[in-house]
Amino acid sequence: MRSPAYKEWRAGVESVQGCLQPVRLTGKWEVRHLGSGDLIASRQGRVWASCGTRRAAVCPTCADRYAADAWHLIHAGMSGGKGVPDTVARSTRLFVTLTAPSFGAVHNRPGKRPCSCGRWHPDGYRLLGSPINPGAYDYVGAVLWQAHSGKLWHRFTIALRRAVAAASGLTVRESGAHMRISYAKVAEYQGRGLVHFHAVIRVDGPTGPDSEPPAWITPDVLADAVRSAASSVELGTVRPDGTPLPLRWGTQVDVKDITATDIDIPDGADDDGDQAVADTRLAGYIAKYATKGTGATETGDRRIRSQAHIDRLTVSDHHRAMIQTAWDLGGLDQYADLKLRHWAHMLGFRGHFLTKSRIYSTTFKNLRAERRAHQLQTALIEAGLPEDTDVLVVNDWQILGIGYDTREQIELATAIGDRIRAARQQARKESR
């Protein structure tokens, strides 16, 4: 820390806000006037770039940025902004949770009664989510359900449109002249290693969020359609021995109306009845799941390379069995299209953690483009040029390395990142 190189190293860490997997680059960049070709600004040497991961277990700093973008994406579809009109706040909207079916009894904390094993389990109990009888647990069914859950969601959205159209006495094609259904969903791992999906489902008018939905699309009508669609969806596959395996949603389908101002925030936070506050908190509640991993510890959030890798994992027996099952099924020709070995570290889940329909709101690409545009405008102002100056940015970089060289550097970078994140959170609280 006393060496001359430490200040340069620390400046690199701070430039990426304490990223734990930074990409170190060497090269140069130039900003030139697009018309005249005159050099406006340039830099040559070494720079650091953030890793950009979404998983908090890998890099909390980059996961924070991803969660912030996810919040804007979800919130804009609920309250407007980022190119979405604020009239969406008057559209019929539901907060829906779809779960996985049971593949065997697991240790849990029901609250008012003991676990199925006959005992009461405290928070943090190491067996929570694991099977009561591992030998009887359907690991093959669980992994295959997980691998098809994205397609199951797609089937649900199709069935939902049909159910809403049927409620109005219209065909799906005819209903398009009256309304459009959009959504944003995020996947969350439960303690048993299976995902369930949280989603904001919204009904707009025929042209999207800039038009009013028909008056007959009430929250109750939409809620009934959600439950009907969830119960009707079925996807067929087979077990390794050829036995048919029908895949469905779990019986627990949670539906909350978020059109009204008295929404009950799922995480138990108090709500003062203000719709903007409710939308903000609910968007944060959903967005935080976009950065979570499998729950199989940090080691289980990295791609599996071999059987020896599985044997060395520091995970629970249940998660190891899920990973092992995905690895074994991935070696069978009949499941080659599922690429289960590629996704064994995710317990067979192959989908994106946050997806949305096209017209729900803005995109991650647009949010990042806004950030780049703001940085460019700042650079132009510092150079004494108008913000709307047309420029050409030229980059020429080569990778020197990724991550840090020693455990001590990782510990220092973690401490620096923690301080930066704590200061940012405090500033956010004070601004509120």
DSSP tag of 170? -
* DSSP-derived secondary structure for 52-73: ----TTT-HHHHHHHHHHHHHH
Phi-psi region of 206 (alpha: psi -120 to 50; beta: other; left: phi over 0): alpha
Phi-psi region of 392 (alpha: psi -120 to 50; beta: other; left: phi over 0): beta
At residue 305, does pLDDT exceed 70? yes
Mean pLDDT of 229-234: 96
| pLDDT interval class at 262 (50, 70, 90) | very low
What confidence tens digit (pLDDT) does each residue in 16-50 have?
999 999 999 999 988 888 888 888 878 888 999 99
- Model pTM? 0.85
**Residue 93 corresponds to which tokens in the numbers above?**
């909207």
What confidence tens digit (pLDDT) does each residue in 236-258 have?
999 999 999 999 999 999 999 98
What confidence tens digit (pLDDT) does each residue in 116-172 have?
888 888 888 888 889 999 999 999 999 999 999 999 999 999 999 999 999 989 999
What is the SS3 assignment for 432? coil
Mean pLDDT of 319-323: 94
| 251/425: higher pLDDT | 251
Q: Select from 54, 96, 267, 287 the least CA-distant residue to 198.
A: 96
Q: Select from 270, 225, 218, 208 the least CA-distant residue to 93.
A: 218
Residues in the chain: 432
| CA pair distance 71, 199, nearest whole angstrom | 13
| CA pair distance 160, 168, nearest whole angstrom | 13
| CA pair distance 345, 323, nearest whole angstrom | 6
| C-alpha dihedral, 359 to 166 to 286 to 231, nearest 10° | -140
| 191/157: higher pLDDT | 157
**Residue 105 corresponds to which tokens in the numbers above?**
């009894």
| CA pair distance 250, 72, nearest whole angstrom | 30
| pLDDT interval class at 279 (50, 70, 90) | confident
> What is residue 301's predicted lDDT score, i.e. its pLDDT?
65
| pLDDT interval class at 274 (50, 70, 90) | low
At residue 293, does pLDDT exceed 80? no
| 43/204: higher pLDDT | 204
In the predicted model, what is the mean pLDDT of the chain? 88
At residue 74, does pLDDT exceed 50? yes
* DSSP-derived secondary structure for 122-186: -TT-TTTTSBSSGGGS-HHHHHHHHHHHHHHHHHHHHHHHHHHHHHTT--HHHHTTT-EEEEEEE
> What is residue 249's predicted lDDT score, i.e. its pLDDT?
97
Mean pLDDT of 212-230: 93
> What is residue 168's predicted lDDT score, i.e. its pLDDT?
87
Spatial neighbors of 389 by CB under 8 A, at least 6 apart, are 33, 40, 380
Q: Select from 150, 186, 367 the least CA-distant residue to 285.
A: 186
| 232/6: higher pLDDT | 232
Sheet holding 23-33, edge to edge: 39-49, 23-33, 391-402
